[in-house]
């Protein structure tokens, strides 16, 4: 395709979702990309970074402090693996793993924290223990009490479309339908739009080809006028493309992060915070034109 010299690239979002204030920090969507650091207090994380079935809270706190020093804007802590085929935890066991580490992380950093869970009971306890947001991989469509829990706590919601177990029709169409369903539930529960972030669900029920199509079609989700989170970090689609094990997917992750930013991602959820913070800064300089060179005096 030949591009006219005056044709804008990458395409620019024609709106700005309302800024969010999470734990006193302002997230002004559209000005730059925000980085979410992943803390897995699990024994079976696909990425090999889990802290075990009996995680040491001090290790979780140390990782949180490291991520903050490396430039993370928000932390995401979870106690149940969401990899394909993972065992579903009883909420009591999930809380046993989660709460000590969550409390330690909360004491270690002032960064906003989201808790990665789809169980309302776990979300309620985590919000009481210092979490600021719920990252629900089922987008309020699994536990019927989840929306009410988030609304009562005045928490923020990261709502994913999860394609697992659903009939496939069209990548962007299925995701959009999932978002519509989630937003209807959220509105009925009283969760305001300025507390919602949408995640199209890279790696959750899609083939590798469909995951790549999802990234290409991210601009189709701008119509929701809400911030978008994309989580490609170390995932199997990158491994298939590169024929690489999980510990050799850094460059592939970087490529998907940069391309997601070009297509409108507002938050990237990553394991390698320092490296992806640098990727996001360079991508933002191109996409958002928010950098100027200042030559030395």
The pLDDT of residue 297 is 74
Which residue blocks in the chain are alpha helix, DSSP H? Answer: 57-70, 91-108, 120-128, 146-153, 171-189, 208-216, 236-242, 250-262, 273-287
Radius of gyration of the chain, Cα coordinates, nearest whole angstrom:
18
Q: How many CB atoms lie within 10 A of CB 204?
A: 19
β partners of residue 10: none
In the 8-state DSSP scheme, what is residue 7? S
The pLDDT of residue 9 is 57
The pLDDT of residue 147 is 98
The pLDDT of residue 225 is 94
Catalytic residue IDs: 235, 269
For residues 290 and 30, the answer to whether their CB atoms sit within 8 Å is no
Residue 257's Cβ-side half-sphere holds a number of Cα atoms within 13 Å equal to 30
For residues 283 and 255, the answer to whether their CB atoms sit within 8 Å is no
Domain segments of the chain as ranges:
31-82+89-286
The pLDDT of residue 3 is 46
Residue linked to tokens 């929701």: 224
Q: Among candidates 186, 98, 206, 171, which has minimal Cα distance to 141?
A: 186
The pLDDT of residue 85 is 73
pLDDT tens string, the chain, 297 residues long: the values are 444 444 455 566 766 778 999 999 999 999 999 999 999 998 855 544 556 667 899 999 999 999 999 999 999 999 998 877 777 899 999 999 999 999 999 999 999 999 999 999 999 999 999 999 999 999 999 999 999 999 999 999 999 999 999 999 999 999 999 999 999 999 999 999 999 999 999 999 999 999 999 999 999 999 999 999 999 999 999 999 999 999 999 999 999 999 999 999 999 999 999 999 999 999 999 998 888 888 887
The pLDDT of residue 121 is 98
pTM summary value: 0.93
- Cα angle: 179, vertex 73, 268; to 5 degrees: 45
Whole-number Cα distances in Å, 264 to 159, 169, 173, 283, 288: 17, 23, 17, 11, 10
The pLDDT of residue 4 is 46
The pLDDT of residue 62 is 95
Q: Which CATH number applies to 31-82+89-286: 3.40.50.300, 3.20.20.20, 3.40.50.1950, 3.30.460.80?
A: 3.20.20.20
In the 8-state DSSP scheme, what is residue 228? B
Alpha carbon dihedral 148, 152, 154, 155, in 10-degree steps, equals -50
The pLDDT of residue 7 is 47
- Cα angle: 90, vertex 101, 75; to 5 degrees: 100
């Amino acid at each position: 395709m030949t591009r006219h010299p005056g044709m804008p690239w990458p395409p620019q979002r024609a709106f700005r979702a309302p800024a969010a204030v999470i734990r006193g920090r302002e997230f002004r969507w559209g000005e730059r990309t925000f980085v979410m650091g992943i803390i897995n207090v699990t024994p079976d994380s696909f990425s090999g970074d889990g802290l075990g079935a009996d995680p040491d809270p001090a290790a979780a706190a140390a990782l949180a402090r490291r991520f903050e020093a490396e430039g993370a804007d928000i932390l995401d802590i979870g106690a149940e693996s969401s990899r394909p085929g993972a065992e579903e935890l009883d909420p009591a066991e999930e809380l046993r793993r989660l709460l000590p580490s969550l409390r330690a992380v909360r004491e270690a950093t002032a960064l906003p924290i989201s808790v990665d869970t789809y169980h309302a009971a776990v979300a309620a306890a985590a919000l009481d223990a210092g979490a600021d947001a719920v990252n629900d991989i089922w987008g309020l469509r699994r536990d019927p009490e989840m929306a009410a829990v988030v609304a009562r706590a005045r928490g923020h919601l990261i709502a994913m479309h999860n394609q697992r177990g659903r009939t496939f029709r069209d990548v962007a169409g299925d995701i959009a339908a999932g978002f519509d369903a989630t937003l209807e539930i959220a509105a009925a529960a009283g969760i305001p739009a300025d507390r919602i972030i949408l995640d199209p669900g890279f790696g959750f029920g899609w083939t590798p080809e469909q995951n790549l199509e999802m990234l290409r079609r991210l601009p189709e989700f701008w119509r929701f006028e809400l911030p978008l989170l994309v989580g490609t970090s170390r995932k199997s689609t990158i491994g298939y493309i590169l024929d690489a094990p999980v510990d050799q997917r850094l460059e592939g992750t970087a490529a998907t992060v940069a391309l997601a930013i070009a297509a409108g991602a507002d938050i990237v959820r990553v394991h390698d915070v320092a490296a992806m913070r640098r990727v996001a800064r360079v991508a933002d300089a191109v996409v958002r034109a928010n950098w100027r060179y200042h030559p030395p005096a």
